[in-house]
Amino acid sequence: MDRSTNLDIEELKMTREQYILATQQNNLPRAENAQLYPVGIYGWRKRCLYFFVLLLLVTMIVNLAMTIWILKVMNFTVDGMGNLRVTKKGIRLEGISEFLLPLYVKEIHSRKDSPLVLQSDRNVTVNARNHMGQLTGQLTVGADAVEAQCKRFEVRASEDGRVLFSADEDEITIGAEKLKVTGTEGAVFGHSVETPHIRAEPSQDLRLESPTRSLIMEAPRGVQVSAAAGDFKATCRKELHLQSTEGEIFLNADTIRLGNLPTGSSSPSSPSSSHSRQTVYELCVCPNGKLYLSPAGVGSTCQSSSNICLWS
């Protein structure tokens, strides 16, 4: 018992001595040369920091003001910007718009109650390209002409979609029911014309004319000229030839007249008064095919009047 008590007293003494030694060390005077280092930003660094913070604040305010001004001027809304509206079907642009750079779109159409107008100071050009970017079609509307460059150009009817006009490198096809040329000079063809039917409008004349050269109509199975309610006239300055190589020339009419035929005479010195009293003549033919009249008599007088064949 006494031994354990002595141990406890010794431990208390040792603890007390350690506390006294620690207290004495803390109470020792500090060195005179000790330096103090303040914590934080002071001096010109602090002023620069405040300046940059102020500059950032001013910049944010200016950007916010400019953004609000742009939104106000450009009329930005939830649906779009100004006259430009974004819809489910695409973009809707109202009013007059000006494009300074190329415009790439899939479809352009106007409102139902207004037309679509494309305007340019020089020309309006519409290009079509393939997936390789190569030009396949071009439509240019200029001040002097409208040009279309493509493999095939077609104009279709709005009702049934039939082709009214088509053109390619080989031919030009007109599918309209009627082709009407209203020019004063008519239609001019540089080469041959193939058609099954040519007719004029009602109460109008049809005229085929070649002012300086010949007019030729050819058909392997025949050429038919008919005037159902009028006359048929063939007029020429020199000679009119009717030729049939294998068939015949058939004249079928109630009356056939051959005017201005020369009249032969058996006596060249006979007065002309005898011809005026002659009412019946005989039709004669020279060996070269020339026809002439000879005064009729009891018999044939062609032989006696054949001197006219010598003059032809």
Q: Check residue 51 and give its pLDDT.
A: 93
Write the CA distances from 236 to 210, 233, 244, 276, integer angstroms. Answer: 13, 10, 19, 30
Global model pTM greater than 0.75 = no
The DSSP string of 116-154 is -----SS-EEEEEE-TT--EEEEEEE-SS-EEEESS-EE
Please report the sign of the dihedral spanned by the C-alpha atoms of residue 282, residue 286, residue 287, residue 289: negative
Q: How far apart are CA 8 and CA 3, in angstroms?
A: 9
Q: Three-state SS for 156?
A: strand
Q: Check residue 244 and give its pLDDT.
A: 85
Which residue has tokens 């068939």? 247
Residues 53-72 pLDDT 10s? 999 999 999 999 999 998 88
Q: Check residue 271 and give its pLDDT.
A: 44
Closest CA to 154 of 137, 132, 142: 137
Q: How far apart are CA 304 and CA 10, in angstroms?
A: 197
| Pair 140, 146: CB distance under 8 Å | yes
pLDDT tens digits in sequence order for the chain, 312 residues long: 555 555 556 555 556 666 666 555 555 455 455 566 666 677 788 889 999 999 999 999 999 999 999 888 887 877 777 777 888 877 877 777 777 887 787 888 787 788 878 778 888 888 888 888 888 899 898 888 888 888 888 988 888 888 999 998 888 888 888 777 788 877 777 787 777 777 777 888 888 877 788 888 888 888 888 877 788 888 888 888 888 888 888 888 888 888 888 887 665 544 444 555 767 888 888 888 888 888 888 888 888 777 888 776
At 65, list the tokens: 């003001």
